[in-house]
Structure 1
């Protein structure tokens, strides 16, 4: 593979940019999402469908407005993806118990099975990545990923993901 980072003279500020970390994150994301992509293609779904399915499965009864905030996408984008997932019998919408205008999202049995299959693929990749690393490496990886997230969003994300690990250490 050729050098992907721009060439620079020794001491050039461009050399201070951690291009290797940037590129490793790109490639890691590509492969991490690539495993589920093959399964999603069988449904004519893409990564947007995967993200919606993941967060609905992890947060049964989530409101559409909360899902929009998590995914940081437009209502129009979510509407298109959500319609396809509902039409395919993967997700169902229910009225709120106190406000019939409120739309609460749940996975169906088929949706839960698909979400579990996709998560298992990603779990296997993470387990393979952690094998051979020193004890406690998973905690360092969690901390690193948390540090990549905007500081003002970290507490909300920690609460959302309900990790069994203390991420604030």
Structure 2
């Protein structure tokens, strides 16, 4: 049975899913990363860093006791206090195609509205076609790059009014 619960960003189960996500995206973007200069690589790494203290909510999806998906939000660095940024949406390969990412995103939207958010923003890579399709199907539209992004080639930023 699938369930979703709020947990800490530093929860071991969330961190395990993040490691799996980094392994997967690292392989997808290997050629892009290899082409970066050392300065560009440092800037890209810094833009993707997330401080645990900045995360307002982390959701963990469980299949019984097995952690299978996660997503989080933080106040966006756009300069608009009512904009929140979606971070690290990830579903384990074994559980893809079941609507988990959509369910997590809808729950994040509902909870962000309760926080007083008026919009959600997010960043993803241009080679993550399934993620791009998901965000567009949920009503996100491409927007300009917002801080701290712009250092990594192919970044795509999205925004959705709530």
Structure 2-normalised TM-score? 0.24
Higher relative contact order (CA 8 A, sep 6+): 2
Structure 1-normalised TM-score? 0.24
Computing the radius of gyration from Cα coordinates, the structure with the larger value is: 1
More strand by share: 2
